[in-house]
Amino acid sequence: MNKFFIAFTFAAAFLCSTAMAQQPQQRPEQKDQPCQEKMDKPCHNHAHQNCPHHAEKGQTECTHQNHQGQQPCSHHGEPGHQCSHQGEAAHQCNHQCDHNPAAFRPHGQAIVTLFEHFGATNAQGAWTQNGFQMERAYLGYKYMFDPHWTATIIFDASEATFTNGIEHVFVKNAFVQYKQKGLTASAGIIPTSHAWLSEKYWGLRYVARSMFDLYGFGNVADLGFNLKYDICHWLSADISMLNGEGFRRVQLDNHFLYALGFDLRPIENLDLRVYGDIQTHDTNAVTRTRNSGIDTTVNQVARKNLHFFAGYDHRYFRIAAEYNMRFASDYVKGDNATGLSVYAVGKITPRLNIFCRYDRGVSSDNDLLATAFRYDHDGQNVFAGVDFHVNKMVAVSPAIQYHITPDNTTSLYAYLSCKVNL
């Protein structure tokens, strides 16, 4: 197993040296050039000056033309999301010339995204070979009817969908979206707004899920609708009404999740987000056992979430911190959970990033009850590694994950992740 770890180290060093050797030289005349969409006709009233987005005519993949040269959209969120300033892999850049709708042509884009891992785990001083792992596969299609209306459908197959050796495929996204003059409306099985900003800042979904998803604070997609409105250039608000149980359990009931969020940008490159939701539930009583051994009646209550985010995106790095509080996690008062995540990504070259991240999850339970509530992933996690973009379709990352349980048991997972966008 030592040979595996030595090979893992040499792979990281090789990627670093390759990226440094391939770093493009910047020409002075390329610096701070204004943005112009290259479509059938130039867009002369583009809202974003010095914008890094350039989409060639007929091109379906959004690329960035930044100060260091051209690079693919490497800040990966969930497939099918709108391309933002940070960019999202294999997503279509949707800047259009609103004053010239005749320049628009209806078009579609296939979405094919694969996440794969190869790694080994060291627990209690012994290495265990885990081998290859297909962590996720997305297959879908996005179609733009006009500059304002789009429809997206994405199928999802992952390791979490295996039951008795049989893999199940779910419809992760199936929604229509309308965008115009600061208003975005989505309906169907939509990406949730719980932590969209932290997903964008983390940008390494193929290496590890973001804290809210990994620790179960919310669902990445759900059935319902969302409205988002840009109040001004530094403030936007969004509201959602969702089924509340995720895209794998799309059933009819009388329980809903109501959410409200605010995004703020008080200064350039600084993003703040405040989010809260409440999940309704039957208030019927359930029988639990007290620590004394006597059965008691407990009234179920609504489950609530609060999420706070702060991030700064610099030319050479981005850093972020997020904190989540969940109350009545299993609809019992006193069963609460919190999660903290802090991470940084260094932009070494257009193709090479280095990253590190620290997570901590803590749970508390209703101490009157004998059945203890234990929050999934209690303890601490440390992630570190290298994110290297081989080309605009393939990225690889040698990384490690170090886990500490609440009783101080430790484990180390060394792995090589690969992302493919076709």
Using the predicted structure, report yes or no on whether residue 67 has a pLDDT greater than 70.
no
- Paired residues of 273 in beta bridges: 263, 309
pLDDT the model gives residue 79: 46
Q: Are 297 and 319 in contact (CB under 8 A)?
A: no
User: pTM of the predicted model, to two decimals?
Assistant: 0.72
* Span 29-42, average pLDDT: 41
| Burial grade of 345 (CB within 10 A; 0-12, 13-18, 19 or more) | buried
| The amino acid at 246 | G
Strand partners, 338: 325, 362
Per the structure, how many domains does the chain have? 1
Longest dimension (CA), the chain: 78
Q: Please report, for the domain that includes residue 27, its CATH number.
A: 2.40.160.10
Rounded to an integer, what distance in angstroms lies between the CA atom of residue 276 and that of residue 258?
Answer: 8
Q: Which of 62-71, 232-241, 284-293, 329-338 has the highest mean pLDDT?
A: 232-241
CB 76 within 8 A of CB 64: no
- Strand, coil or helix: 302: coil
Cα–Cα distance measured from residue 12 to residue 182, given in angstroms and rounded to the nearest whole number: 43
Length of the chain measured in residues: 422
CB 112 within 8 A of CB 54: no
pLDDT tens digits, 102-129: 678 999 999 999 998 888 888 777 777 6
Name residue 11's amino acid. Answer: A
Task: Look at residue 73 and tell me whether its pLDDT is greater than 80.
Answer: no
What residues make up the domain containing 277?
2-421
Residue 422's pLDDT is 85
> Which helix (H) or strand (E) element contains residue 143?
strand 126-144
392-404 in b/e form (b: 16+ CB < 10 A) is beebbbbbbbbbe
Question: What are 354-372's pLDDT values in tens digits?
Answer: 999 999 998 877 666 655 5
